[in-house]
Amino acid sequence: MNLIVAETIRILPFFLADYPDVHSHLIDRQLCVRMIGSYVDVQSKFRREYLLEWGVLKAMLADDTSDEPTKMAEP
């Protein structure tokens, strides 16, 4: 689940760049990251869930100054 949440945080600025109107809907809300079994499932059926508070998202978006996705460091 941690990898799914990390990928959500990494990709969010690019999603918001493509859909700028969505940003105003995120303010002061939680972002719910869900792990589902397949896309065939009903939306309410999920295996795990993680809520990201707006403060975390706001700080992450404020720190994002890159134009490309962040590459993970080599081990």
Distance between CA atoms of residues 66 and 52, nearest Å: 21
Six-digit token pair at 44? 């309410």
Q: Give the model's confidence band at 46: pLDDT under 50 very low, under 70 low, under 90 confident, else very high.
A: low
What is the percent of the chain with per-residue pLDDT over 70, rounded to a whole number? Answer: 72
Question: How far apart are alpha carbons 68 and 4 in whole angstroms?
Answer: 19
Least confident of 2-6, 7-11, 46-50: 46-50
- Percent of the chain, pLDDT > 90? 1
User: Per-domain residue ranges for the chain?
Assistant: 2-63
Q: What is the rounded CA–CA span in Å between residue 43 and residue 36? A: 8
What is the pTM for the complete model shown?
A: 0.55
> At 69, is the pLDDT very low, low, confident or very high (cuts 50, 70, 90)?
very low
Cα–Cα distance, 19 to 17 (Å, whole number)? 6
Task: For residue 51, give the amino acid letter.
Answer: L
